[in-house]
Every structure is written in C-alpha cells, then in structure tokens.
Structure 1
Amino acid sequence: MFFKYLIPFATVVALLGCGGHRSSEATEARTGVVTDSLGIIHPDYAKGFNVSYQDDMVLLNINDPENKEAEQFHFALTDKYFSGMLPEGYIRINIPVESAICMTSLQLSNFLKLDIPEKVVGITSTRHLHNVKMNEQLKKGQTHKIGIEGNFDNEVIMAINPDVIFISPFKRGGYDAIRNVDIPMIPHLGYKELTPLGQAEWIKVIGLLTGKAADANLEFAGIEKRYNDLKAMVDTVSYRPTVFSGEMRGGNWYAVGGKSFLAQLFRDAGGDYFLKDNNESGGVTLDYETVYTNAAHADYWRIVNSFDGDYNYNVLKEQDNRYTDFDAWKKHGVIYCNMKEVPFYERMPVEPEVVLSDFIHVFHPDILPDHEPSYYHLLEK
C-alpha cells in the first residue's frame, strides 16, 4: 500500500500532545487510506515547496522562494506499481527513494539529520566533509565523488545510477551536461529561503521522498520549538548590538543582503544587521568605503572561512590593515567560525537553533551565560 510507511494519527497525539479529531471519511479523502499520520507533510515556514495528496500519488511542487515568476517544478510521487495517469506537466518519481546524488552540503545535511547517509551514493566536494559515516562510505566506495560543478563525470553518475539527483538549478551548476543521463533531477531550493526555519524545513522534502516523512516532521518540530523558545528570550531586549558580515576578497567586500536568512538570524538573536534596510536576499558585493561607512562602529563582525592554524586579530590585520579601523577589531568583537574545525555546511542548515544560541550568547551573554559555542565563538586574541 502506497502510504504504508506513514504512522497512525494516534501516535502523533501521543508524541506531540495535541488533541483534535478527524473522521475516517475526511482522512480517507486526504490520504487515500483510512488513517492519518505524522507523515503528512505541510510547510509552515518554507516558501519554496508545497505538497498535496491524492488517492494514489503525492504531488510535490517546487518554486523559487525569492521569485514566484521563475521556473516551477512538478513531481508526482508514486509507488513502483503505479499504472495510472499523471497530471499534465508532472514528472513521476517512485518513492521511497533509495539512492540519491547530492550536489551541495545543504542537501546532504538533510540526509545526515535523518540518519540515512547510506542513501547518498554520490556527492561533489569533500573539502569540508566532517561526517564520519560519509567519509567511511567514500573510503569503501559506497559513495562516489562525481566531479565538480561544470565538470561532472557522467560515466561515474551513470554507473552509480541513483534514483534521483538533487540540484540547485538557479546556481551555476553545469546541469545541462548531465540531463542526458536520464535520471530525475529534483531542485532543492532551501538555500533560497529567507528565514532559518524556512531553510531547515526542507528536511521535510527529503523525508517525503525517502519514506522518512514522519521522522522529518518530528525532527523539524523539535528544531522549530527550540528556535522559537530562544527567539522569545530576546524579543524584548532593550539593546540590540549592530553586526556586520563578510570579508575583502579580490578588492571587493562580500556580504549578504538585508532580506537574507542570515540577516533574519541576527534579528532573531537580538541584533541589528548593518544592511538591515537593504532589500536584497542573496549575496551583495560592496566596496570597502561602503562597508566602512555603515559598519565602522558596529559592535560585532561575523566571519566564516577555512583557515589553517590560529585565526586571530593579528591574522586579520595581516590580511588587510584597513580591518583595524573597525571598532569590532579594536574592541575584539569578531564572531568567528572555522570550517576546517566544525561541520558548518553539513549540519548548520538543520541546526538553526544552535546557531541562534551562539549569536545570542555573544549579543546577550546574560541571557545564555552557560552556553557552549558550537559553530561561532568570539575571538579573544
């Protein structure tokens, strides 16, 4: 039976402590079987996907969270015995998916959070890969490197022959080169969500596709509760420190816009982002003078990079002496994450509440005085 992997509704009540009653007829109309479950997927924060249930299939619709006019993608999820008609414009995907290629660490983070790394049979970069299971799979040949964006190895991909390939179609990915391998490509657009919870909620898409919808709902419910509980702790703070982000590279300063999920994280942590009035949601390229004008007296400076050795204020000075003009450098207000030391990209997307705790601990140490940083810490020397 198509929905055999769903958990009975009574389990939901017991696990989440929520009440309510739904008749068998109403349930049957929604799922095609006389049962309800925690496995029903519904996005509450994510703007890039929606799900509807029919008698013998689930319709998954994916769109750009930032641009409703951009290309949309439609998938009909069925079991392998399905022989009916698909809605016009829908691509059939047999579920549960047993093998997949991930093009980004954000996609991989969903599989790792659901504890199903064995379903990931191909990845691109392993540069910042910390997960023990994934590294073991690579060593044993259970997971393969498929090349890099724009230079994928089609022979390796065809030899792996995964059920699906997850892509980021609005990035430069060189996906045209692999369209002829005849493997369904499913966009994973969590990276375009404008809120941390919206990005984390894409775990439900992976749960739906892999038969782990109930697990995904439970995982996200925990993330959501912890995040919102923390956010409520700083909602009424009287002082909101200013924070800026990014570094100079090749003569330009790279940051993110004021509508990005990172800017939202700063706000939820009780801070003010230096570009809070900016209306862009993605990356922004600035000149040094613009950054200095807006951030010279900011309290904190957030930096993420990959560095060998002890990253400190002298290293920043050596990289660009102009950094010493910022109050955040002078007063030791740099919030730092070294991707060589922490599994930033493979875990951070599904742990926004942990990142939020790190920022709250810095911005308002009296609120979380005993917090142990996981991703970001304040540079002391």
Structure 2
Amino acid sequence: MAVLSTTHVPYLLALGSTDHLVGVAHGASVRDTNVTTRLADGRIVELLRGDRLDHEALLGARVDLLFDQPFGRSDLTSRVEGPRHVMITEYLEEHPLGRSEWIRAFGAILGQEAMADSIHASIVARYEAASRVIGSIGSRPSVFYGSAWQGRFHGASSHSLMAQLVRDAGGTYWSGSNGPNSNVTLDLEGFLAVADTLDHVGMALEMDHPPDALDLVGGERRIAAAPGIVRGGFYGNSGTSDLFGRALLEPDVMLSDLILILHPELPIDHRPTYFHRLDQ
C-alpha cells in the first residue's frame, strides 16, 4: 500500500502496518525513523513531490491500496489505474478527537477494527483526563495561533483544530470578526494592533533550531516587542517535532502542552512535546 499524504503515516504506524508500506508522498516531511530508513534504502519509494505524481514509481511499486486526500488534488490521481483508491479527509475534522478517530477508518480498511477501537478509546480517555486539569479556572487568557508570511499574518477560524485545543486548554481563541468559519488574514499594522491586546501569540514554524521572537513573527521587530510575544509567545515547530504526523494521535499531549503554556500556575507534571514557550 501507499499514502499520498504524510498525515496518513502515523495511523499506519499505530496499527503496525508500515511493513506493507511501499510508497509515500513528500518523504522529506516524514519524521518516523522506521519509514525514513526504508526510504533511504529503497524499500519505500517517494511517489509525490510538490504537485507531481510519479506514475512510473507508483506502477513499479505494485501498489494495491492507495490512501489519498482530495485537498488541492485537481485531477492529480484521477488517471491512476490499478490500486484501490481510498480518500481520507481527516484534515476536515475540527476536534482533535475527530482527527484521531480516523484510526478506526484505517482499522476497518486494514481489517484491524478491534485494535483501532482500543487505541482510540485510550486516546479519548487520556484527552479527557488532561482536560479535567483545567477544572474551574478563574481566567481564560486570549490566544492567537497562526503563521507569518511576507508581512502578512494568517490565523485559523474559531471552528478549527487549534481553536478547539485552545478552548480545552483554558484559553479564549482570537479569530477576529470575520465569522466563525472564516480564516483571518492581517497586514503588519492590523496584526500589531491585535498583538498588543493578546495574552499569547503562537505561530506554526518549520526550522531546525529553537526560534526566537523575531523568528516567531517573520522578522518584524515591532511585533516582536508586543506583550503577547514577550510574555506569552509560543510556537509549534514541525521542523523538530512531528506536529502534522504523530501529534494527530497524541491530542492529549498537544492539550497538555497548551495547558502548561496558558496556565503555568496549575500543578501539571508534563514535558512539552509539540508546543513550546519561547523561553523554554
């Protein structure tokens, strides 16, 4: 079998099915060492780089089951013949437990329903236990989480995975006034005005070293001095952690990371994995 999204790999890993994996997309973005080792020695081939599907590699790998996702695909795989083609849309789930529950779909397809059900039940139990740490907190700090690119700042809507995590971690997610289903895009001046009012500003990054405040905001010095960054800046770095892979099956860890950031006053024994304060 093969996957055309790196987000599918952790589900196969959890079910112990990677021995049957012969093809992946975007190999450089895969974090699991078992898969990267097999990529390096040729037992797994890279099928997709950028928007180009390597049809010859797909045929040569003799793939009989192809996991794909429709986002941005156009007709990329519409002409693929041979393997059974299964579309996976876990990225549409707004709740962390909704994304992790996709392991049950993989389990059903691969004939491992009982194992998948057991894994997900454990995930739910751990997530609910982590969320109970919040209890009856007195205040909910305001939080923005997004990304910076070429002087513009982008944040997900209030109906998003990160927004749900922030709420469950005892925060108030800031998503502007565009409506609950709309993403937010702000220019430098607009974001500077917002950042001055927030308790925490978090950014998604991809780099091979611990970031500083300037990295967090794309080098914009005026924003780097905002209170939400100086006192409450945090980040998720997909360059050093499997933020878009294994994290999907560890929503309880992501939640505990955020609780530690938003409520350091709570007695939680936890080491950050996916989200870190700037000063950590």
> Tell me, what secondary structure is at the counterpart of 1:319?
coil
2:163 counterpart letter in structure 1: A
1:133 to 34, 53, 60: 34
1:253 counterpart letter in structure 2: F
Q: Tell me which structure has the larger Cα radius of gyration.
A: 1
Match of 1:346 in 2: 245
2:148 to 241, 248, 267: 248
1:179 counterpart letter in structure 2: R
User: Using the alignment, how far apart are the partners of 1:146 and 1:284 within structure 2?
Assistant: 33
Q: Is the 8 A contact 1:258 1:280 kept in 2?
A: yes
> Tell me, what secondary structure is at the counterpart of 1:377?
strand
2:115 to 207, 215, 229: 215
User: Using the alignment, how far apart are the partners of 2:253 and 2:97 within structure 1?
Assistant: 12
Match of 1:182 in 2: 82
- Quick one: structure 1 residues 149 and 175, their matched pair in 2 at CA, closer, same or farther if it must change by over 3 Å? farther
What are the within-5 Å matches in structure 2 for residues 142-153 of structure 1? Answer: 142-153=43-54
Q: Is the 8 A contact 2:151 2:218 kept in 1?
A: no
Give the percent of matched residue pairs that are identical in Structure 1 and Structure 2. 26
Q: Is the 8 A contact 2:64 2:82 kept in 1?
A: no
User: Using the alignment, how far apart are the partners of 1:368 and 1:203 within structure 2?
Assistant: 32
Cα distance per residue 1:246-281 (max 9 Å; x no partner): 232123212111111110000000001111765444
Q: How many residues align?
A: 280
Match of 2:255 in 1: 356
Cα distance per residue 1:64-108 (max 9 Å; x no partner): xxxxxxxxxxxxxxxxxxxxxxxxxxxxxxxxxxxx221222211
User: Using the alignment, how far apart are the partners of 2:182 and 2:22 within structure 1?
Assistant: 30
Q: Normalization by structure 1: what TM-score?
A: 0.68
2:109 counterpart letter in structure 1: L
> Tell me, what secondary structure is at the counterpart of 1:156?
helix
- Quick one: structure 1 residues 281 and 132, their matched pair in 2 at CA, closer, same or farther if it must change by over 3 Å? farther
2:19 is aligned with 1:113: no
2:276 is aligned with 1:377: yes
What are the within-5 Å matches in structure 2 for residues 51-62 of structure 1? Answer: none
> Tell me, what secondary structure is at the counterpart of 1:234?
coil
- The range that moved more, 260-269 or 142-151, is 142-151
Q: Is the 8 A contact 1:124 1:147 kept in 2?
A: yes
- Quick one: structure 1 residues 343 and 213, their matched pair in 2 at CA, closer, same or farther if it must change by over 3 Å? same
Q: CA deviation at 1:177?
A: 4.6
User: Using the alignment, how far apart are the partners of 2:206 and 2:18 within structure 1?
Assistant: 24
2:64 counterpart letter in structure 1: D
Q: CA deviation at 1:295?
A: 3.5
Cα distance per residue 1:222-261 (max 9 Å; x no partner): 1101111221221421111111112321232121111111
User: Using the alignment, how far apart are the partners of 2:76 and 2:216 within structure 1?
Assistant: 40
Q: Is the 8 A contact 1:150 1:175 kept in 2?
A: no
Structure 1 segments unaligned to the other structure (5+ residues): 1-99
Q: Normalization by structure 2: what TM-score?
A: 0.91
CA RMSD of aligned residues (A): 2.2
- Quick one: structure 1 residues 278 and 164, their matched pair in 2 at CA, closer, same or farther if it must change by over 3 Å? farther
Q: CA deviation at 1:350?
A: 0.9
> Tell me, what secondary structure is at the counterpart of 1:233?
coil
User: Using the alignment, how far apart are the partners of 1:108 and 1:175 within structure 2?
Assistant: 23
Match of 2:2 in 1: 101
1:200 to 100, 111, 125: 100
